[in-house]
Amino acid sequence: MKELIEKLKEVNVGNVLENEPLSKHTTLKIGGPADILIEPSSIEGLQKAIQIVKESDVPWRAIGRGSNLLVSDGGIEGIVIKLGKGLDHLEESSDEIKVGGGYSLVKLSTIMSRKGMSGLEFASGIPGSVGGAVYMNAGAHGSDIAAILKKAHILFEDGSMKWLSVEQMDFSYRTSILQQNPGICLEAVLQLKEGDREKIVEKMQRNKDYRKETQPWNHPCCGSVFRNPLPNYAGQLIEDAGLKGRMIGGAQISEMHANFIVNTGNATAKNVLDLIDLVKSTIHKKDNVVIETEVEMIGRP
């Protein structure tokens, strides 16, 4: 790994850290170390990094702002690429914007609403990056990324880059083609529309207030843990099963919203996984409903 780190630093790919705790880079504040963490300084820096990684035959994966992510206590073997500064550019053109994969979704929705541009109101409380939102088709309040995306610039595992149209992204509920054909969303082109600035800002504020009132963002958490097994809702099933507030170690099923698991201060990934297993088995036994996770679980066993 020392030799690989030196190679990465030599070609100036960006910030390169060894044995970096991923608890510093996830909204749950949980996760063991990555052998190497790279924070690319640009798309070109990321390309260089991927080329070196490919030549070294080391496993890698990308993360954004660390929401919707549970990293194991054993950390992640190989390289973790974190998109942030360096891939957070924003270009505006009439009702269309091109935005870097590392850009904050909350920040983007706030900026656009203040300019009277509609389409991102749903994203006002989603604490992820644009790239992560494209990866999992993030959504809320009756809309999602698929509704406004025109195309996405993707870097695939083999080092190739391609613009994919919204149709090619094969979006469905909280998924995209990137779950089957892994890649990094470098940039996204979003189609917005002009609207009444006051009404847009008012809608944004309503969405923010709703999240503050109903979701436990005052504690470290990853967002919704389970997919809604429609026509049922995961949170309601969990609450009806009497699991709201249940704790294992430092992890707790939120007393505010049962589809959230919070870190009360010293939770481990195993604590969270044990709670997830408890929910799955309880709901299956009580309601004969198979409930699946929305949070992505990664890392060494």
pLDDT tens per residue across span 17-33? 999 999 999 999 999 99
With respect to residue 158, please indicate whether it lies within any of the assigned structural domains.
yes
Q: Would you state the structure tokens that stand for residue 170, as one six-digit string?
A: 């094969």
- What total number of domains does the chain contain? 3
Give the pLDDT confidence of 131-173 residue by residue, as tens digits. Answer: 999 999 998 888 999 999 999 999 988 888 999 999 999 999 8
Q: Are 200 and 104 members of one domain?
A: yes
Q: What is the CATH number of the domain that holds 58?
A: 3.30.43.10
pLDDT of residue 208 exceeding 90, the answer is no
Round the average pLDDT of the chain to a whole number and report it.
Answer: 93
Q: What is the CATH number of the domain that holds 153?
A: 3.30.465.10
Listed in sequence order, the DSSP H helices in the chain are 2-10, 43-56, 105-114, 130-136, 197-214, 234-240, 269-287
d(CA 21, CA 90): 29
Q: Strand pairing partners for 100?
A: 187
The alpha carbon torsion through 13, 21, 29, 120 (nearest 10 deg) reads: 10
Q: What is the pLDDT of residue 207?
A: 87
| Residues recognised as catalytic | 174, 224, 294
Domain ranges, residue 256: 234-298
Q: What is the pLDDT of residue 125?
A: 81
Q: What is the pLDDT of residue 236?
A: 97
d(CA 82, CA 60): 11
Q: What is the pLDDT of residue 301?
A: 83
22 — phi, psi (to 5°)?
-80, -5
With respect to residue 25, please indicate whether it lies within any of the assigned structural domains.
yes
Q: Are 94 and 175 members of one domain?
A: yes
With respect to residue 224, please indicate whether it lies within any of the assigned structural domains.
no
